[in-house]
Structure 1
């Protein structure tokens, strides 16, 4: 079976698939990464009911192996805010809200991290944005602060130098990482999610916030559909056809 035939991509709110996605999120975030989550075996919150859940299913194993959730404009309106607003002040992005989705809770089963599953998730995102006539994605990429934050500061500085947002599209951390007190010149590669965002054309749109629940620094990114680099967009659309 080819990789394309083996994996099924779903964008769904169906409870059975959402529950499997929540289980995968718990296994990755709590069991693997040590996030402080209630010991229920599922990562769930009040935003889930208002999100579209992007899921990659392995047909051979009959299990969800990758997920990403999308909070569309109407979902954010119903719940009262974007999830990111517990970490960032999004005031300057208010004019974009009717055309902006929030991406979050990205995770892939440890046995499926070769890149194929992530490619399927980005394919589904490109198709979703075009079909729903949406223009912007707000998201974040997490970086460990196990070393005190030096790696996060260094990766942030390098990413900012590569792709900084316009000043009028900035967000501001509620609890900022004290990057001015940290070494920020370590020659480190960005984590896969941040690297993927940058390759697609996303801007780094603010300083990292410290996420105490997950024990990490979150780098905010803003991805305009118009900036999706053409070779990636063509590839995703070909995959989605």
Structure 2
């Protein structure tokens, strides 16, 4: 998928059942293990969307260990957005008329024992190559904060309110029963340093590319997270950021 001969990692799309199970096992470790939520005997995080998605695996070249994975769902245009994982939680009718090709990126996780920042860079390089090769116009998904206590993430959520809310005509309405309406409830001015430290790496990357978020956060008590709908149009990515991503994509 990427030419990474100078890297310690390899990137590929899962092609066998055991590849997908490896991704599901890593997802379980990151999202479920130790939380008591949705414990399963087989130690796999599985849902119905797995069968619809492509699964990207980033592995250590020497040991073969899976260090990162994510999945993506390719949609021809907004008319198909009701098929997405995000549509369970958000009313996405405002995007249903979008005419460009869309990709939903989700279940992104990095093995907790691997702290190499290069992993995130390579993951985005892989997604960039797919976007360029297939004429994708918009990326979207759910970006998660760990934990369900909004106060822990107050500065980050306040920063989203002040700088990164989506266009009024595109922001989705919430369908989920448990939400925190941070745009309406937070009056504080965000502390920029605390906000940056609390911002999840995946969400931070979306925002650096010119992405935007919903005005409410869905509380997912099954996975012990809070997530915001996140979107970025490829045409809105700053030229310097595009060059950086494409330098990885090769």
Bin the TM-score by the shorter chain: 0.7 to 0.9
Structure 2 unaligned runs (5+)? none
**Among residues 197, 205, 212, which one is paired with 1:196 in the alignment?**
205
Distance 1:181-1:207 versus aligned 2 partners, 3 A rule: closer
**Equivalent-residue separation in structure 1 for 2:38 and 2:209 (angstroms):** 31
**Among residues 127, 136, 139, which one is paired with 1:137 in the alignment?**
139
Distance 1:220-1:153 versus aligned 2 partners, 3 A rule: farther
Distance 1:185-1:34 versus aligned 2 partners, 3 A rule: farther
Distance 1:201-1:127 versus aligned 2 partners, 3 A rule: same
Q: TM-score, normalised by structure 2?
A: 0.85
Matches within 5 A, 1:36-185: 36-73=38-75, 81-96=83-98, 99-146=101-148, 148-174=149-175, 175=177, 176-179=179-182, 180-181=184-185, 184-185=188-189
**Number of the residue aligned with 1:230:** 239
Deviation at 1:153, TM superposition (A): 4.1
Deviation at 1:81, TM superposition (A): 1.6
Q: Does 1:214 align with 2:223?
A: yes
Structure 1 unaligned runs (5+)? none
The structure carrying a bigger helix percent of its residues is: 1
RMSD (Å) for aligned C-alpha atoms? 2.7
Deviation at 1:11, TM superposition (A): 2.6
**Aligned partners of 2:80 and 2:96 also within 8 Å:** no
Give the secondary structure class of the aligned counterpart of 2:72: strand
**Equivalent-residue separation in structure 1 for 2:104 and 2:200 (angstroms):** 19
Deviation at 1:91, TM superposition (A): 0.9
**Residue-pair matches, total:** 239
**Equivalent-residue separation in structure 2 for 1:34 and 1:149 (angstroms):** 20
Give the secondary structure class of the aligned counterpart of 2:33: helix
